[in-house]
Amino acid sequence: MGAAPKKTETGEQQIPRRSFLAWMSGVGILGTAVAGVFSTFVFMKPRATYGQPNRFTIGRPDEFPAGARMAIDSKRVCIVREGNKVAAISTTCTHLGCIVAPSETGFQCPCHGSQFDVDGNVTGGPAPKALSWYQVTLTPSGELEVDKDNEIQTGTYLSV
Amino acid sequence: MWKDLLDLPRNVWRSIFRNPLPSSDRGRAATSFTNFFLHIQPVRVSKQALRPSYTMGLGLISFFLFVILTVTGVLLMFYYVPSTGMAYDRMLDLRSSVAFGIILRNMHRWAAHAMVAVVFLHMCRVFLTGSYKPPREFNWILGVCLFLLTLLSSFTGYLLPWDQLAFWAITVGTSIAGYAPLVGKELKFLLLGDANVGQEALLRFYVLHVVVLPAVLTIFVAVHFWRIRKDGGLAKPEPAALPPAAAAEPDVAAAAAVPAAEPARRFVIQGLVRGPLVKVGKLEEDTVFSWPNLLIAELVVLLLTIAGLLAVSYFFNAPLEQPVNVMHPPNPAKAPWYFLGLQEQVSYSAFWGGIGVPGIELLLLVLLPFIDRGKQGVGRWFARERVLANSVFLLFVLINVVLIVIGTFFRGANWQFVSPF
Amino acid sequence: MRLALAVLSLVVLIGSGVVVYDQFHSRWEDNQKAYFNQALGLAKTPAERASLEARVPKIEQTIVTGFGEQRIDRCVSCHIAVDDPRFTTEKQPLATHPYSEAMGDVLRNGRWERRHKFTDFGCTTCHDGQGRGLDRADAHGDDSFWPEPMLGYTMQDGWKKEISSHLHGKEYMQANCARCHTAKDFAGTPLVARGRELFFKTGCYGCHRIEEISSGTLGPDLTEVGKERKLDYLWGHIVNPRDYTATSIMPQFKLTDEDRKALVIFLKSRRGSDLTESDTERFRLKSANVTPALPGVSEPGAAAAGPALTPAARGEKLVGDLACMSCHKLGDRDGGISPDLSYEGLMRDQPWLMDHFRSPRSRIPDSNMPAFGLPQADFEAITAYLLTRTTPPAAATPADTFKTLCVRCHGEKGDGKGINYLYLDPAPRDLTRAEFMVSKPQERFIASIRDGVAGTSMPAWGKSLSDEQVKGVLDYVWQTYVKEPRRQLKPRKVPEQNPAPTSAESIGRGEATFMQRCTGCHGRKADGHGPNSMDISPRPRNLRNFAFMQHTPDRRLMESIEYGVEGTAMPSWMDYGLSQSDVGDIVNYIRSLNQTGK
pLDDT tens-place string over residues C30-42: 999 999 999 999 9
CA distance C22 to chain A (A): 12
Write out chain B residues lying below 8 Å of A42, CB-based. 99-100
CA dihedral B95, B101, B104, B105 (to 10 degrees): -30
Answer yes or no: is pLDDT of A21 > 80.
yes
Is C74 within 8 Å of chain B by CB?
Answer: yes
Percent of chain A with pLDDT over 70: 91
- Spell out which chain A residues touch chain B, with contact meaning CB-CB distance below 8 angstroms: 8-10, 12, 25, 28-29, 32, 39-40, 42-48
What is the predicted pLDDT for the residue at C395?
75
Confidence of residue C295 (pLDDT cuts 50, 70, 90): low
Rounded to the nearest 5 percent, the helix, strand and coil shares of chain A are: 20, 35, 45
Contact at CB, A24 and C10, closer than 8 angstroms: yes
Q: Which of C6, C16, C85 sits opposite A32 (nearest CB)?
A: C16
Residue type at position B259:
P
What is the predicted pLDDT for the residue at B385?
87
What is the predicted pLDDT for the residue at B272?
62
Q: Which of B92, B93, B300 sits opposite C4 (nearest CB)?
A: B300
Long-range CB pairs of B245-254 (<8 Å, 24+ gap) are: B247/B276, B249/B279, B251/B277, B251/B279, B252/B279, B253/B42, B253/B277, B253/B278, B253/B279
Phi/psi of residue A123, nearest 5 degrees: -120, -5
Q: B256 by DSSP, 3-state: which?
A: helix
The arithmetic mean of pLDDT across residues C12-28, rounded, is 92
Write out chain B residues lying below 8 Å of A46, CB-based. 98
Q: Any idea what DSSP says for residue C519? A: H
Write out chain A residues lying below 8 Å of B299, CB-based. 25, 29
Nearest in space to C355 (alpha carbons), one of C547, C571, C124, C521:
C547
The arithmetic mean of pLDDT across residues C522-542, rounded, is 92
Count of CB atoms situated within 10 Å of the CB of B145: 16
Is the pLDDT higher at C308 or at C84? C84
Are the CB atoms for B265 and B36 separated by under 8 Å?
Answer: no
Write out chain B residues lying below 8 Å of C137, CB-based. none
Of these ranges, C209-213, C289-293, C495-499, C583-587, the one predicted with the greatest mean pLDDT is C583-587
Write out chain C residues lying below 8 Å of B97, CB-based. 59, 61, 74, 132, 134
The arithmetic mean of pLDDT across residues C559-566, rounded, is 93
Between A and C, how many residue pairs show a Cβ–Cβ distance under 8 A?
77
Answer yes or no: is pLDDT of C512 > 80.
yes
CA distance C50 to chain A (A): 12
Disruptive mutation site among B98, B106, B108, B291 for chain A (greatest number of A CBs within 10 Å): B98
Write out chain B residues lying below 8 Å of C145, CB-based. 163-164, 320-322
From residue A84, alpha-carbon distances to A66, A87, A138, C46, C113 in Å are 7, 10, 13, 20, 21
What is the predicted pLDDT for the residue at B421?
83
What is the predicted pLDDT for the residue at A140?
87
Answer yes or no: is pLDDT of C459 > 90.
yes
What is the predicted pLDDT for the residue at C165?
94
Contact at CB, C12 and B307, closer than 8 angstroms: yes
From residue C589, alpha-carbon distances to C299, C398, C498, C521 in Å are 47, 42, 12, 17
| Residues facing residue A89 across a β-bridge | A78, A133
- Could you say which residues of chain B have pLDDT below 50? 241-260
What is the predicted pLDDT for the residue at B28?
87
The arithmetic mean of pLDDT across residues C281-309, rounded, is 62
Disruptive mutation site among B89, B100, B105, B306 for chain A (greatest number of A CBs within 10 Å): B100
Cα four-point dihedral sign C550, C555, C558, C562: negative
Neighbours of chain C (3+ CB pairs under 8 A): A, B
Write out chain A residues lying below 8 Å of C98, CB-based. none
Contact at CB, A31 and C8, closer than 8 angstroms: no
Answer yes or no: is pLDDT of C109 > 90.
no
Query: Residues near B339 by Cβ (< 8 Å), separated by ≥ 6?
Result: B151, B155, B169, B172, B173, B176
Disruptive mutation site among B19, B24, B67, B71 for chain A (greatest number of A CBs within 10 Å): B24
What distance, in Å, lies between the first and last C-alpha atoms of chain C?
90
Q: C334 by DSSP, 3-state: which?
A: strand
User: How many Å apart are CA A137 and CA C48, to the nearest integer?
Assistant: 9
What is the predicted pLDDT for the residue at B282?
53
Disruptive mutation site among C14, C16, C38, C59 for chain A (greatest number of A CBs within 10 Å): C16
CA dihedral B318, B322, B327, B329 (to 10 degrees): -40
Confidence of residue C293 (pLDDT cuts 50, 70, 90): low
What is the predicted pLDDT for the residue at B128?
93
The arithmetic mean of pLDDT across residues C322-347, rounded, is 90
- Where b means 16+ CB within 10 Å and e means fewer, C7-45 reads bbbbbbbebbeebbeebeebebbebbeebbebbeeeeee
Disruptive mutation site among A14, A15, A18, A21 for chain C (greatest number of C CBs within 10 Å): A21
Are the CB atoms for A93 and A99 separated by under 8 Å?
Answer: yes
Contact at CB, B23 and A8, closer than 8 angstroms: yes
Gyration radius (Cα) of chain B, Å: 25
Contact at CB, B93 and A48, closer than 8 angstroms: yes
Answer yes or no: is pLDDT of A128 > 50.
yes
Q: Which of C8, C130, C147 sits opposite B303 (nearest CB)?
A: C8
Write out chain C residues lying below 8 Å of B304, CB-based. 8
User: How many Å apart are CA B345 and CA B337, to the nearest integer?
Assistant: 13
Write out chain B residues lying below 8 Å of A29, CB-based. 299, 303
Give B403's Cβ-side CA count (13 Å radius). 21
What is the predicted pLDDT for the residue at C301?
43
Answer yes or no: is pLDDT of C158 > 50.
yes
Q: C71 by DSSP, 3-state: which?
A: strand
CA distance B77 to chain A (A): 11
Disruptive mutation site among A14, A15, A32 for chain C (greatest number of C CBs within 10 Å): A32
What is the predicted pLDDT for the residue at B246?
43
Contact at CB, C146 and B322, closer than 8 angstroms: yes
Chain B residue with CA closest to A15: the answer is B23
pLDDT digits (tens, 9 = 90+) for A94-121: 999 999 999 888 999 999 999 999 999 9
The arithmetic mean of pLDDT across residues A17-32, rounded, is 90
What is the predicted pLDDT for the residue at A12?
55
What is the predicted pLDDT for the residue at A141?
85
What distance, in Å, lies between the first and last C-alpha atoms of chain B?
80
The secondary element (H helix, E strand) that includes residue C214 is strand C214-215
User: How many Å apart are CA B296 and CA B292, to the nearest integer?
Assistant: 6
User: How many Å apart are CA C248 and CA C229, to the nearest integer?
Assistant: 17
Percent of chain C with pLDDT over 90: 68
- Spell out which chain B residues touch chain A, with contact meaning CB-CB distance below 8 angstroms: 23-24, 75, 78, 93, 97-101, 104, 299, 303, 306
CA dihedral C411, C417, C421, C425 (to 10 degrees): 110
Q: Which of A22, A28, A56 sits opposite C2 (nearest CB)?
A: A22
CA triple B5-B6-B8, angle to 5 deg: 65
Contact at CB, A40 and B75, closer than 8 angstroms: yes
What is the predicted pLDDT for the residue at A53?
87
CA distance A17 to chain C (A): 9
Question: Cis peptide leading into B319, omega within 30 of 0?
Answer: no
What is the predicted pLDDT for the residue at A26?
92
Query: Residues near A33 by Cβ (< 8 Å), separated by ≥ 6?
Result: none
What is the predicted pLDDT for the residue at A2?
41
User: How many Å apart are CA A73 and CA A70, to the nearest integer?
Assistant: 9
CA distance A10 to chain B (A): 7
The arithmetic mean of pLDDT across residues A22-43, rounded, is 93
Answer yes or no: is pLDDT of C145 > 80.
yes
Residue type at position C349:
D
Contact at CB, A29 and C119, closer than 8 angstroms: no
Q: Any idea what DSSP says for residue B333? A: -
User: How many Å apart are CA C337 and CA C327, to the nearest integer?
Assistant: 5
CA distance A28 to chain B (A): 10
What is the predicted pLDDT for the residue at B281?
53
The secondary element (H helix, E strand) that includes residue B165 is helix B164-177
Is the pLDDT higher at B399 or at C372? B399
CA distance C391 to chain B (A): 53
Output the average pLDDT for chain C: 90
Contact at CB, C12 and B303, closer than 8 angstroms: yes
Query: Residues near C128 by Cβ (< 8 Å), separated by ≥ 6?
Result: C141, C148, C149, C150, C151, C176
Residue type at position B189:
F
Is the pLDDT higher at C273 or at C551? C551
pLDDT digits (tens, 9 = 90+) for B65-97: 999 999 999 999 999 999 999 999 999 999 999
Are the CB atoms for C128 and C118 separated by under 8 Å?
Answer: no
